[in-house]
Amino acid sequence: MSVAEKPLTRLDDLPLSLYVHLPWCVRKCPYCDFNSHALHGEIPAGAYVDALLRDLDFDLESLAVRPLVSVFLGGGTPSLFDPHAIARLIEGIGQRLSGVADAEITLEANPGSADAGRFRGYRVAGVNRISLGVQSFDDASLARLGRIHDSAEARRAFTAARRAGFDNINLDLMYGLPGQRVVDAVADVAVAVDLAPEHLSVYQLTLEPGTPFHRRPPPLPDHDSLWDMHTALEAALAAGGYARYEVSAYARAGWRCVHNENYWAFGDYLGVGAGAHAKLSGAGGVRRTRKVRSPRAFMDCAGKPTCLAGARTLTRGELGFEFLLNALRLTEGFAIATFRERTGLAPAAIEAPLRRACERGWLSRDEHRIRPTATGYRFLDDVLELFLPPPP
């Protein structure tokens, strides 16, 4: 180890988040490659929550205790779980980890499976942020996407969440939808801005291998229209008071997503539930793990080592690359001190590609920070290619 390198920060210094995967949906959307499964019959809510807590106990056997900064109940469609099950889950997490009372606790909800009563129940259970999967406010687009709700339901769900006391709401939107024009995408964003959520996630629709949309692609906007669409969306969002702080994330001042920011800043996270991923740093390096994907298999093995479907420690080269893969998604880039703290590497480890990226006008740097330039942000894949680790 060179003098400029130091061991990874002590475990209890890095912020810790918890991701919980709730894998069922009413039906599978044709563009979705998340680990989500169409529900046949009743949701096994009680048994699944028991399994999640066993899984968490297993993870905590090998983790030094430190407080949580955030919990993210993602899916799938977590709003299919009734508030009692969510309350028992959050209570169980609070019995095992500190910081829960002050943590950001997000629950992903589908407008087709959440009503006013449920939102009130989630609030009482301790959820303090709702992420609503709206995708579009255009009924024809929603039908083409195979969504189970229409635009009116999405607006009702938003109002219901507000009335239930949620002062921190995110809406997920997608653009680049089949047959969508720039004006249609801007109209979607205008409705969203009108509702005035605290946060908006705006994703470009991608055709993921293994999905029906990938097998039979619908007619999507071409590359130039997508660029125009994104430029117009960003401008409309900025005018509405939403600053872009990550590739797909926009927030009103003070309402960035703590959980996702921790991912992007290469913080640590536990992952419990079917197919959940984790990233944890320690004296031995940075370790990534994932759990078995099948919900049924997960419920059978939760709490035992057999639930681990994969685990590996990142190589030195991967560490630098993975840090940049996350941190360069942030418009503000990263502090050099954070790079050092979270990878255990000296900045010299990335000096050569960093200089090339700066010479090409893709990154800028001062004594303390490294930031993507406007051009670098547009061609992030090209920037990252410079930092790719050599093949093993």
CB of 110 to ligand SAM, least distance (A): 4
Q: Which two tokens mark 94?
A: 């609070």
From CA 219, how far away is CA 202, in angstroms rounded?
20
Angle at 376 between CA 374 and CA 379, to 5 degrees: 110
From CA 231, how far away is CA 108, in angstroms rounded?
27
- Choose the binding region for ligand SF4 from 71-79, 196-204, 225-233, 237-245 (rule: CB under 6 A): 71-79
32 binds ligand SF4 (CB under 6 A): yes
The contact mask relative to ligand SF4 for 112-151 (x = CB under 6 A, - = no) is ---------------------x------------------
Q: What are the counts of helices (DSSP H) followed by strands (DSSP E) for the chain?
A: 15, 17
- Choose the binding region for ligand SF4 from 73-81, 213-221, 250-258, 323-331 (rule: CB under 6 A): 73-81
Is the CB of 90 or the CB of 200 nearer to ligand SAM?
200
Is the CB of 29 or the CB of 171 nearer to ligand SF4?
29
From CA 313, how far away is CA 285, in angstroms rounded?
6
Is the CB of 22 or the CB of 89 nearer to ligand SF4?
22
Closest Cα partner for 109 from 148, 54, 62, 61? 148
Residue burial 241-273, b: 16+ Cβ < 10 Å; e: rest? ebebbbbbbbbeeebbbbbbbbbbbbbbbbbbb
Binding residue (CB under 6 A) for ligand SF4 from 36, 141, 201, 262: 36
Asked whether 54 and 32 are in contact (CB, 8 A), the reply is no
Strands 199-204 and 249-251: antiparallel
Residue 83 binds which entry of ligand SF4, ligand SAM, none, with Cβ cut-offs from 5 to 8 Å by kind? Answer: none
- Choose the binding region for ligand SF4 from 23-31, 64-72, 95-103, 197-205 (rule: CB under 6 A): 23-31
203 binds ligand SF4 (CB under 6 A): no
φ and ψ of 65, to 5 deg: -65, 130
Is the CB of 137 or the CB of 266 nearer to ligand SF4?
137
CB of 133 to ligand SF4, least distance (A): 5
106 binds ligand SF4 (CB under 6 A): no
Is the CB of 137 or the CB of 387 nearer to ligand SAM?
137
Is the CB of 19 or the CB of 387 nearer to ligand SAM?
19
Q: Which residues contact 57 (CB under 8 A, 6 or more apart)?
A: 96, 303
Residue indicated by tokens 């709702």: 130
Residue 273 binds which entry of ligand SF4, ligand SAM, none, with Cβ cut-offs from 5 to 8 Å by kind? Answer: none
275 binds ligand SF4 (CB under 6 A): no
- Contact residues for ligand SF4, defined by CB under 6 A: 25, 28-29, 32, 34, 36, 75-77, 110, 133
